[in-house]
């Protein structure tokens, strides 16, 4: 099935760059949209993204680089969305062409702030795309290790297993292995929620908590994720699978994790605004904490870690005091 369908990647960040790298192992040409004209010009001239994973060198003859989202969408049969969820609404507002005949896969680990929906639900409700034409690309996988060609694993979720297999086939290569899942809702929510727990892990580290506490935090975290997802979409799933537990662990522990980095800065005394400015990257968990907390007001899952992170980020809770109270709620 390789080399018969056309793919477009929407986004210019590290995940978008990593996905383009994977696709170029199997595809002759890929449309790659990024809004930065400077980045497009740099890649055309120097063959690497100047801002993300700059060590990855591309054969530019394989890339149809464009600043027009319409051009990229028109080119493709399969469209992979890989931009921060906070910017998805504004980027899609530029569209003047239809998405109705496209297969949409999301590599976004967050909730669309304007609608409070995960990306798959957003495309279904806002654009009328049926769920069988919507998929998700989740971890456990850091873009930085894809750039280094370290063995990595992806979970490709779609209710249509044939479309999931096509995407898996086109992302798989010597250093990428893909697993297929039908749990698109569960894997997307897990990918969103794990960023909140990574912020919690970072806050704990910044406050001086050690590995013993971190293990308890992650153990409670996966149980929270399980309870949260069951309230939204209860189906037969093994929460210990890589798409859930594995993704949580790599995001909570890895030095590549921007959400852990963000939390670490908060734990060390940075304000939310100062941490965001110094990182100069989007920590999806910041937006996810607000969305998950508000969504759970009606769902009623037991989520003391989400509540603690929300209190610190949105209610100006003092991290040391909030985590001191949290410790008595974990086991």
Active site residues: 194
Give the HSE-up count for residue 55: Cα atoms under 13 Å, Cβ half-sphere. Answer: 7
Torsion of CA 252, 172, 281, 241, to 10 degrees: -20
**Exposed, middle or buried: residue 103 (CB in 10 Å: 0-12, 13-18, 19+)?**
buried
CA separation for the pair 221, 124 (Å, rounded):
29
Handedness of CA 195, 189, 118, 130 (dihedral sign): positive
**Quick check: helix, strand or coil at residue 136?**
strand
The number of beta carbons lying within 10 Å of the beta carbon of residue 280 is 7
Phi, psi at residue 292, to the nearest 5°?
-65, -40
31 Ramachandran zone, left/alpha/beta (phi>0; psi -120 to 50): beta
């Amino acid at each position: 099935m390789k080399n018969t369908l056309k793919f477009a990647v929407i986004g210019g960040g590290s995940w978008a760059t990593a996905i383009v790298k994977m696709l170029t192992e199997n595809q002759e040409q890929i449309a790659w949209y990024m809004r930065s004209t400077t980045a497009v010009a740099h890649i055309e001239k120097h063959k690497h993204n100047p801002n993300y994973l700059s060590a990855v060198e591309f054969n530019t003859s394989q890339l149809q680089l464009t600043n027009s989202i319409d051009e990229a969408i028109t080119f493709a049969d399969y469209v992979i969305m890989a931009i921060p969820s906070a910017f998805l609404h504004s980027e899609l507002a530029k569209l003047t062409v239809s998405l109705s005949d496209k297969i949409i896969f999301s590599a976004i680990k967050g909730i669309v702030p304007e609608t409070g929906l995960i990306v798959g639900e957003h495309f279904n409700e806002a654009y009328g795309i049926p769920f069988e034409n919507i998929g998700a690309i989740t971890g456990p996988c850091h873009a930085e290790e894809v750039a280094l060609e370290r063995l990595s694993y992806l979970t490709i979720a779609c209710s249509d297993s044939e479309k999931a297999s096509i995407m898996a086939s086109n992302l798989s290569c010597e250093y990428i292995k893909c697993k297929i899942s039908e749990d698109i809702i569960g894997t997307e929510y897990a990918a969103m929620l794990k960023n909140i727990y990574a912020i919690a892990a970072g806050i704990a580290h910044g406050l001086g908590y050690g590995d013993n506490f971190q293990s308890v935090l992650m153990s409670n975290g996966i149980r929270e994720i399980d309870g949260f997802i069951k309230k939204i979409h209860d189906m037969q799933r093994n929460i210990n699978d890589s798409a859930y537990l594995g993704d949580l662990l790599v995001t909570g522990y890895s030095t590549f994790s921007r959400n852990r980095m963000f939390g670490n800065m908060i734990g060390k005394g940075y304000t939310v605004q100062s941490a965001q400015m110094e990182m100069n990257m989007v920590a999806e968990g910041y937006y996810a904490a607000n969305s998950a907390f508000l969504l759970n007001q009606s769902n009623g899952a037991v989520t003391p870690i989400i509540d603690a992170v929300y209190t610190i980020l949105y209610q100006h809770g003092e991290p040391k005091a909030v985590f001191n109270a949290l410790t008595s709620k974990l086991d």
